[in-house]
C-alpha cells in the first residue's frame, strides 16, 4: 500500500493539505505492517548520526497512525521520515489533533532573508 492509497482510503484521518500530491514518495510501496508493529513510544532528537535510510517512510507512519489514531504519541511528537521531496527536503509527520499532517523541512539557506526597504531621503 502507498501513502496516496492510505489517504484515499481514510480521508478523515488525514489533515487536509496537498502540497505533496505530485511527490514521488506518495507512491512508494511500503510492506504491510505485522500485527505486532505498533506506534512509536517516543522520539529522540534528530542529529547528524541519523541517516534517512534508517528511518521509517511516511507511509509506514501513516499505516501505524491509521491503526491507532488516538494514541497520544501522534500529538506529542513529529517524526522524521526516510522520504524527501523533489528538492531533497526531509519529510516529517505528526498530528495537530485534526489528523495526520505531512510536512517537509525547508532548509534555511542564504536565499532566505528579512525584507528591507530603502528609506526615502
Question: Chain-centre distance of CA 64, in angstroms?
Answer: 13
- Alpha-carbon span 84 to 82, nearest angstrom: 7
Convert 36-71 to b/e letters by CB count within 10 Å (16 or more is b).
Answer: eeeeeeeeeeeeeeeeeeebbbbbbbbbbbbeebeb
Tens of pLDDT, residue by residue, the chain (121 residues) = 899 999 999 999 999 999 999 999 999 987 776 666 778 888 877 665 666 567 899 999 999 999 999 999 999 999 999 999 999 999 999 999 999 999 999 888 888 898 989 887 7
Helices (H) and strands (E) in the chain, counts: 3, 3
Amino acid at each position: 500500500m502507498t501513502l496516496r492509497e492510505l489517504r484515499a482510503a481514510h480521508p478523515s484521518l488525514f489533515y487536509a493539505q496537498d502540497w505533496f500530491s505530485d511527490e514521488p514518495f506518495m507512491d512508494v510501496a511500503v510492506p504491510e505492517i505485522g500485527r505486532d508493529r505498533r506506534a512509536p513510544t517516543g522520539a529522540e532528537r534528530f542529529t547528524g548520526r541519523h541517516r534517512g535510510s534508517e528511518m521509517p517512510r511516511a507511509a509506514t507512519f501513516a499505516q501505524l497512525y491509521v491503526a491507532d489514531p488516538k494514541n497520544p504519541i501522534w500529538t506529542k511528537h513529529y517524526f522524521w521520515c526516510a522520504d524527501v521531496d523533489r528538492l531533497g527536503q526531509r519529510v516529517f509527520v505528526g498530528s495537530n489533533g485534526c489528523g495526520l499532517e505531512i510536512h517537509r523541512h525547508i532548509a534555511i539557506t542564504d536565499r532566505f532573508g528579512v525584507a528591507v526597504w530603502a528609506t526615502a531621503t
